[in-house]
Amino acid sequence: MTTTVGVVRETAAGERRVALTPDGVQRLRALGLEVRVEAGAGEGAFLPDADYAAAGAVLDTRAKVYADSDVLVCVHPPGDVEALRPGRTLVGLLFPVTDPGLTRRLAEAKITAVSLDLLPRTLSRAQAMDALTSQAAVAGYKAALVAAAAYAGYFPMLMTAAGTTRPAQVLVLGAGVAGLQAIATSRRLGAVVTGYDIRPAAHADIASTGATVLELPDPGGTGEGGAGEGGYARRLTDAEALAQRQALDAAIARFDIVITTAQVPGRPPPLLVSADALEAMRPGSVVVDLAAGALGGNVAGSEPGGTVVTGRGVTLIGAADLAATVPAAASTAYARNLCALLPGLLRDGVVTVDLDDEIQAAVVVTHDGDIVNPRARAAAEEESGS
């Protein structure tokens, strides 16, 4: 029996990525898998149907892809995911902890759901599968470009016959993958860059890029800062968050550009830039909130996908889903993550769920009508009140 992997056009608003590129098709074909692609699925990422056909994929209608696929790969869960037949497998960024309703629907439909956002990121053999990291790198790069485009001045220092223009002063809050990429890109554009993170271990990462580390008091007073499990920042207590915000308020006013990237998986992002901090910034300054989303953002008043100019003249950009605006690069990276993950789900060419495997135990959300992931199950139970 040959397993068929299906790819459909993304249905989320503004989404231009595609889950599998022609290069990814070739990789899966080399594993003995068949690939079916909805006609036009790659158009948003400038990947024509002819390239998929040349790579060995079968082009078909959306309905036929659903009907003939054993595994459907996606970036976001399709709006018509119920069209996938019982017993089939869905693989993508499903975010079951923040979308328990989808989790329940997938379980009821007896679909095996595999969510890449649950991948254990500190596990070495999982690194090639880490879609959150690959997409965060793209988003951090684009955040610097968005800030530069909105800023009324230059990023680099320029010396001309008319005089010298000072470089922009950029502050990046959060030194995860997105933050470090934003720092590196801003430096390449010629800005003077400072980085900040509540995790002490991240300070060395900031310094390694050549940026300055913003030193603020330890929010916990323990020397461990805000380090949490799995390499993520932990959620601060209310008192710690207030102390951090007050310290940042005093520092932010001297910067021309602020890019915020701090997120806590499954929870609202921390508020790092208050309304008072925005009011203290110079007219013409720019703030890019990479954490803006349905759960909130790092900046007071930011709107996901929206741009606001404050009464003070500060441009505030809610930069949600920036990776989707760099679709070719983001799709290529995402497809490689999927191609690294899929072989681990197969045994003798067939999807075989093995919850004793530490990767599968982390990423398999639903199977045989049950919610098997503890975090997803807890979120579903909390929402239903059971």
Instruction: Give the torsion through C-alpha atoms of 351, 353, 356, 359, to 10 deg.
Output: 70
Residue 187 sits in a domain whose CATH number is 3.40.50.720
- What DSSP string runs through 285-340? -EEEETT-BTTB-SBTT--TT-EEE-TTS-EEEE-TTGGGGSHHHHHHHHHHHHHH
Number of domains in the chain: 2
- What are the pLDDT tens digits along the chain (386 aa)? 789 999 999 999 999 999 999 999 999 999 999 999 999 999 999 999 999 999 999 999 999 999 999 999 999 999 999 899 999 999 999 999 999 999 999 999 999 999 999 999 888 899 999 999 999 999 999 999 999 999 999 999 988 888 888 999 999 999 999 999 999 999 999 999 999 998 888 999 999 999 999 988 766 554 555 544 554 555 677 788 788 888 899 899 999 999 999 988 778 899 999 999 999 999 999 999 999 998 899 999 999 999 999 999 999 999 989 999 999 999 999 999 999 999 999 998 899 999 999 999 999 999 999 999 999 999 999 877 75
Q: Which residues pair with 160 in a beta bridge?
A: 163
Q: How far is CA 58 from the centre of its chain?
A: 30
pTM reported for the whole predicted model: 0.91
- Whether 62 and 9 map to the same domain: the answer is yes
Task: Kindly state whether residues 157 and 105 are assigned to the same domain.
Answer: no
Residues 214 and 90 placed together within one structural domain of the fold:
no
Any domain includes 265: yes
Of 309, 325, 341, the residue at which a domain comes to its end is: 325
Same structural domain for residues 149 and 288?
Answer: yes
Q: Which two tokens stand for residue 303?
A: 């709107």
Q: Is 119 within the bounds of a domain?
A: no
CA nearest to 322, candidates 293, 296, 349: 293
Residue 187 lies in a domain: yes
Residues 315 and 344 in one domain: no
Whether 82 and 222 share a structural domain: no
178-202 per-residue burial string, b: 16 or more CB within 10 A, e: under 16: bbbbbbbbbbebebbbbbbbbbeeb
Longest dimension (CA), the chain: 73
Residue 164 inside a domain? The answer is yes
Residue 18 belongs to domain spanning = 4-110+327-384
Q: Is residue 130 part of a domain?
A: no
Q: Rounded to 5 degrees, what are φ and ψ at 309?
A: -110, 120
For 9, 89, 376, the CA distances from 61, given in Å and listed in that order, are 10, 19, 32
Last residue of a domain, one of 325, 351, 366: 325
Task: Tell me, yes or no, whether 118 lies in a domain.
Answer: no
Claim to verify: residue 87 and residue 57 sit in the same structural domain: yes
Please indicate, yes or no, if residue 186 is contained in any of the structural domains: yes
Q: Based on the domain organization, do 184 and 277 belong to the same domain?
A: yes
Q: Are residues 104 and 143 in the same domain?
A: no
Tell whether 316 and 359 lie within a shared domain: no
